[in-house]
Amino acid sequence: MPLRIKVFADGADLAGIARLAGDPLIAGFTTNPTLMRQSGVADYRRFAEQVLEAVPDKPISFEVFSDEEDEMERQARLIAGWGPNVYVKIPVTDTSGRSTAKLVRRLTEAGVKLNVTAILSLRQVQTVVEALGGTDAAIVSVFAGRVADTGRDPVPLMSAALELVRLDPALELLWASPREVLNVVQADAIGCHIVTVTHELLKKLPGLGRDLEDVSLDTVRMFRRDAVEAGFTL
């Protein structure tokens, strides 16, 4: 099943990033402080340098980590200077819930390519789209997976978000935090521009569109193999 959507690999495993950099399926990369911490990254700048050595020509997003607007701006301008393919991730609010729209506006006017992240509501999408007006290129990241975690179907929200993002051809809507291959198909079906996929979930993409009875047979064989290898007896 061919995909029209751009697939961005999401992670902070340097070896995995280097391996995926040459994969024609992967159109770009994203990471964040949580993923970096989980991967044992201790030196943010050095990690970024190594990633950019491995990924010199595909979009890559690095996130600011301050909670103070002035320091966010300083970090954003610094990160933006790391390479022409760098997008700076700015959270949609600070940790007190205050909108970062004014900062997004200033950075947009300064020519910084942004990836506004952690968006979960249509109101936030509207605010961000307005703040990004006039940009040459920017990404609006809506965490559809986290919407689904609340028991809500993310497709109507993402479809409505896409209509807002389409008002500005310089913007791209990113379906963030997919939980399963179905989410990639859903994002593709509505015409979303980008979907982030973890390195682990990427391993499942080759199964896209497989015959279900073939999958059934593989499952039966797995159960049998594991029972034999465990040495179960009754």
Query: In the prediction, which pLDDT does 219 show?
Result: 97
Class of domain 6-209: alpha beta
User: What is the three-class DSSP state of 94?
Assistant: coil
Backbone angles phi, psi at 139, to 5 degrees: -120, 135
Given 89, 102, 203, 204, the catalytic residue: 89
Per-residue pLDDT of the chain (234 residues; tens, 9 = 90+): 689 999 999 999 999 999 999 999 999 999 999 999 999 999 999 999 999 999 999 999 999 999 999 999 999 999 999 999 999 999 999 999 999 999 999 999 999 999 999 999 999 999 999 999 999 999 999 999 999 999 999 999 999 999 999 999 999 999 999 999 999 999 999 999 999 999 999 999 999 999 999 999 999 999 999 999 999 999
Is 6 labeled as catalytic in the residue annotation?
A: no
Cα separation of 124 and 33, whole Å? Answer: 22
> pLDDT digit string (tens) for 138-159?
999 999 999 999 999 999 999 9
Domain ranges of the chain: 6-209
Give yes or no for a contact between 87 and 114, defined as CB atoms under 8 angstroms apart.
yes
Q: pTM of this prediction? A: 0.95
Query: In the prediction, which pLDDT does 2 show?
Result: 82
